[in-house]
Amino acid sequence: MNRIKSVAKEKTSLNNYEVDNIYQSWCHQPPQSPARVVSAKGVRFTTEDGRERLDFSSCFVSHNIGHQDQRVVDAICKQANKLTSFAPSFSTEPRAILGKMLEDITPGNLGTSFISLGGTEANEAAIKIAQQYTGKRKIVGRYRSYHGGTGASMSVSLGDPRSWAVVTGTTDVVAVPQPYCYRCPFGHKYPACNMQCIKYTEEVIKLEGGDEAIAGMICEPVTGANGIIVPPPEYFPMLRDICDKYGIMLIADEVMTGFGRTGKWFALDHWDVVPDILSLAKGLTSGYFPLGATVTTKEVGKYFMDNMFSHGATYAGHALGCATAAEVIKIYESDNLIENSATLGKYLLEKALELKEKHPIIGDVRGLGLFVGLELVKNQKTMEPLIPIDAKIRKGLNPKLELGKRLGELGMMAMAANPSNVIAMAPPLIATKADIDEGVSIMDEALEVLRKYTE
C-alpha cells in the first residue's frame, strides 16, 4: 500500500512540488514555481520574500471585497463549526437563505437558483436549463468571449485561443460578433452604424432556424478577459427584444461583471435589461469559497416542478459556500461597495485616459465601474494590434506578459495574462482614491517597457 512520504515545507521542496506535482492553468508548464503568496489583506498581498504588492486585478476579478475580511472569515468558521456540508437532497439554512438573497438583489422576476462551485459550472447549468426549458439545442455565442474551462462553457468561448485546443462537440454553437466599436467587424463607426452588429445577429438567428432551433444566447454584458468591451447603450435592450421575438433565452454571464464590479449589482442593470438566466460566481463569495450560481426566472423555476430538472452535483448548494456568500453579499450593502465602484470607476477611467495621452502603445481605453481596460496597439493611427489576434499562445514572454512582469517588479498585479490585447485594471471595490493613484502611477511607469514596440 502507498503511504504519504515525508513532505517537507521548506522553500526548495515547495518549489519542487509546484513544478513536479501541479499543473498551472492555461500555459506551457513553467520550469520554476510561481511566486508563493503567504498572506493578503485588503487590496494588498505579500509573497514569501516579504514583498508587499497592490492587487489591481482582484485575483482575476473575484476578490471584490478585498482580502481577509475578518467578518467573512468569522462567518466561515461559525458555519464550519455547525455543519460544513451535507447531501444536496437535504436543505441547509445557508442554502435557503442564499436562495432568497439572490432573489432580492437580482432584477425582475429572477429568483430560482442552482448553486454550484464556480463560473464554468454556472454556465454549464445555464446552457442545460435553456435547452431543457425550450426543448431546443442551439446556443448563440459571441466571438471574443470566455465562459469557462469545461465542455459546454468552452464550446461557447468563441474566438478565445484557450478554446482552440478543445473540440468538445457538446453544444451546437452559433457564432456572432460583439459590439466591439473600436474595431467594428463591419467597419462602421458608432452611432452611424445603426447597430449593424444587432442586425447581423438577427440575420444569423434566422438563418440558424430562429424560434425552431435556438435555445439560448450567452453574453458577457461587459466582456472581460477578451477585452473589457463595453456595449453601446442600445445593444442589450435590442438584443432582449430579438431574444423575445424568437423565444430565445438570454443568458447573462455575469461571473466577472456581477456584484458591483461595473458600479451596479449586475452590469445589465445599467440598461434595465433582465435576462432569463444569470450566471454568477467570483464576486458571489469574493473568492473566500468556490461557489457559482445559475439564477433563472421564477417562471422557469416553476416549469421544473412538472418537468424533471436534469442537472445536479454532489456539492450543489455547499453549506460553507452559501454561508460565505450570504456574509459577502451583506458586506457589499453595508460598506456601500457598489457605490464606491461607480464613483471610483469614473476616476480610474479618467486616469486611464490620461495614460493614453502619454503612451502611444495605448490605442483605446474602455471601462465601466472599477473595470477598466487599456487596449495595446503598435500604432495609435493604424490601430495595428500589439499582438496579432491569431497569435497562438506561445511559450515564453509576449509583450503583454512582459508588461505583467514589469508591473510585478514595480509592486502590482493587473490582469495581463488574458488572451486579448487589453490589460485590465480591476482593483477590489474597497479601493480608495489613493490606491487608484498608486496603481495608475505604477502602470504609467511599467508601460515604458512597451515603448520599444511602438511604430
Ligand X SMILES: Cc1ncc(COP(=O)(O)O)c(C=O)c1O
Binding site residues, ligand X, CB under 6 A: 60, 118-120, 123, 146-148, 220, 224-225, 253, 255-256, 281
Q: What CA–CA distance (Å, rounded) separates 53 from 439?
A: 10
**223 CB-near residues (< 8 Å, 6+ apart):** 142, 144, 145, 178, 229
**Cβ-proximal residue to ligand X, closest one:** 119
Exposure string for 68-78, b = 16+ CB within 10 A, e = fewer: ebeebeebbee
For ligand X, the closer CB: 98 or 447: 98
Order the strands of the 277-280 sheet from edge to edge.
Answer: 110-116, 292-297, 277-280, 249-253, 214-219, 138-142, 173-176
Q: Mention every residue, 6+ apart, whose C-beta is less than 8 A from residue 335.
A: 65, 430
Report the alpha-carbon distance of residue 95 to residue 315 in Å, rounded.
Answer: 11
Smaller CB distance to ligand X: residue 55 or 253?
A: 253
CB of 414 vs ligand X, minimal distance in Å:
15
Q: How far is the CB of 264 from ligand X (least distance, A)?
A: 16
Query: Using an 8 Å Cβ cutoff, are 318 and 117 in contact?
Result: yes
Cβ atoms within 10 A of the Cβ of 186, count? 10
Find the shortest distance in angstroms from Cβ 9 to ligand X. 28
**Distance in Å, CB of 203 to ligand X, minimum:** 26
Least CB distance to ligand X at residue 34 (A): 17
> How many angstroms separate the CA atoms of 236 and 249, rounded?
13
Give the DSSP H or E segment for 76.
helix 70-82
The CB-of-418 to ligand X minimum distance in angstroms stands at: 8
CA torsion, ordered 416, 264, 115, 77, to nearest 10 deg: 80
C-beta closer to ligand X: residue 224 or 345:
224
Nearer to ligand X, 210 or 263 (CB): 263
Sequence-distant (6+) residues with CB within 8 A of 404 are 413, 414, 416, 417, 423
Q: Please, what is the minimum distance in Å from the beta carbon of residue 231 to ligand X?
A: 14
Closest C-alpha to 234, from 198, 288, 264:
198
**Among 123, 140, 215, CA closest to 178:** 140
Nearer to ligand X, 251 or 386 (CB): 251
Q: What is the DSSP letter of 23?
A: P
- Rank residues 118 and 179 by Cβ distance to ligand X and give the closer one: 118
Residue type, 121: E
Q: How far is the CB of 290 from ligand X (least distance, A)?
A: 7
Helix residue spans in 260-336 (DSSP H)? 298-306, 319-334
Q: CB of residue 70 vs ligand X: minimum separation in angstroms?
A: 25
Q: Which DSSP state fits 425?
A: E
Q: Nearest-CA neighbor of 11 among 29, 32, 28?
A: 32
Separation of alpha carbons 98 and 388, rounded Å: 44
Whose cell is 493604424? That residue is 382
Find the shortest distance in angstroms from Cβ 55 to ligand X.
16
Q: How far apart (Å, rounded) are the C-alpha atoms in residues 296 and 251? A: 9
**Smallest separation (angstroms) from ligand X to the CB of 445:** 27
